[in-house]
Structure 1
Amino acid sequence: MIEPDTGTRGEAVAAWIRERIVNGALLPGAHLQEQAIGNLTGTSRTPVREALKLLQREQLVIYSPNRGYVVRRFSLKDILDAFDVRATLEGMVCRLVAEKGLSAEADARLTEIMSEMHAVAFGTIWGERESFRWFDLNFLFHRLLIEQADNPMLGGVIIQTQRLPLIFDTNQRLQSASQVSRLFGEADTQRSYRDHLAIVAAIRARDVDGSEQLMRKHILSSRETMQRNFSKAYPGGQTYDP
């Protein structure tokens, strides 16, 4: 049920639907029926319509006169395009953070995150538990820098580019162990850790250009990894379905 004090009802319903799309409960091609969603969320059709229009603007759903709203199918190109946009925008995040410097609290938190990242990436065991912990830490790392940039509009656009249903969940973690093993392996994680280390060093040195370039390179390296391994995880197609 939707709580009445959680923003507008339309925004709350949109959040309810969005979470289910991104986490795979609502699959690509699923028809989104206003009455059914209203019953499940305890709302009338008006906020449901508002929610669906919002999600259409976010490109998570598409509308056609014959079928109404359906969950959008994402292709490999969509994924790669999102990485391209993220590279530019998160590079800008690092530029902003390097310009004004990290807060003492954020600096200390980065030290903690990086320490645990190293333990996970270079530990003696690499399995499902470690890989999922890595993605949790990676989410915290990127989100902390976005928060430090203190630009809500920039952060909002970045979050939208991170919504890739059936690949990453709402915390930017791959949806299943099989995806982890096929899309990002232990060596990829270690490369990512080294990237993070260089990015943090550049930010602490107040190297505006360097930190921006390092983040761009980091995200584009992840893009290359995704492109290289996509056919292994989803053989025979340019779209990903379960």
Structure 2
Amino acid sequence: MKKSSALDRAYTWVRERILDGTLPGGSYIDEATVCQATGVSRTPAREAFNRLEGERFITLVPRKGAQVRSISSTDLLDAFHARLMIEQFAATEFCVERKAIPDAMRTNLEVMNGVCDFSTTDAMLVYINADREFHAAMVQTLNNRPIFEFFESLWRNNSGAAINRGQMLRSESWLATNHAQHRKILAGLEAYDLDAVVGTLREHLR
């Protein structure tokens, strides 16, 4: 087995169990358990833990292994408020300068519209990735690298919490509301209606 495939195998095994609730927030898992379950050696298991910690799924604890991060409503709210500031600024510049809609926004909106429920982890990950790409495309219209890097860090540092939030809010009614909000954001940008875009973003990022 190649090192890269061993890493992916260990990483995927742990991540899947975090996402499906087998490893709930606050629980611990060690390298030996991952090695036994996936057949990999300690090195890729350790690298998988490092990757998962970087994505804020877990926290490494000396002599205990890894602890699954608990969802913090404060952390999520802080991240969403920061995102609102960035995306509101991006929308303002977009409407004032009457920019063109990025193709990535339309493409990823179609991807999200194709997800009918979060009954599988794969569907959840497809949706959340398309969600990130949709919003990232709008922020990229600023052509401001420091702002975009900060936006990316908000997603990267809270990806685990965001996915767990998606898992909790997997109802069809929530998904339908989310679909509608993304469509309203795009429609508002197409019409250069800043008030409509900002109003929808405030509903969306809370």
TM-score for both structures, normalised by structure 2: 0.61
Structure 2 equivalent of residue 31 of structure 1: 28
Q: How much has 1:44 moved relative to structure 2?
A: 1.2
Structure 1: tracts of 5 or more residues without a match: 118-129, 224-242
Which letter does structure 2 place at the counterpart of 1:168?
G
Contact (CA 8 Å) 1:88, 1:216: kept in 2 or not? Answer: no
- Match status 1:217 vs 2:206: no
Contact (CA 8 Å) 2:17, 2:23: kept in 1 or not? Answer: yes
Match of 1:17 among 4, 14, 18: 14
Structure 2 equivalent of residue 163 of structure 1: 160
- Match status 1:200 vs 2:186: yes
- Structure 2 vs 1, CA of residues 66 and 104 (structure 1 numbering), >3 Å: closer, same or farther? closer
- Match status 1:102 vs 2:65: no
Query: Is the deviation greater in 25-34 or in 195-204?
Result: 195-204
Give CA-to-partner distance per residue, 1:155-200, whole Å, 9 cap, x none: 574255343265424xxx735xxxx39xxx57x955x565434311
Query: Is the deviation greater in 66-75 or in 87-96?
Result: 87-96
Match of 1:69 among 66, 69, 83: 66
C-alpha RMSD of matched pairs (Å): 4.5
- Match status 1:80 vs 2:77: yes
Q: Which has the higher helix share?
A: 2
TM-score for both structures, normalised by structure 1: 0.54
Bigger relative contact order, structure 1 or 2 (CA pairs below 8 A, ≥6 apart)? 1
Q: Equivalent residues in 2 for 1:86-235 (5 A)?
A: 86-91=83-88, 100-102=99-101, 107=106, 110=109, 139=128, 142-143=131-132, 145-146=134-135, 148-149=137-138, 154-155=151-152, 157-158=154-155, 160-164=157-161, 166-169=164-167, 174-175=169-170, 180=171, 189=176, 195-206=181-192, 213-214=198-199, 216-220=201-205, 223=206
Match of 2:38 among 38, 41, 45: 41
Whole-Å Cα distance in 2 between the matches of residues 97 and 63 of structure 1? 41
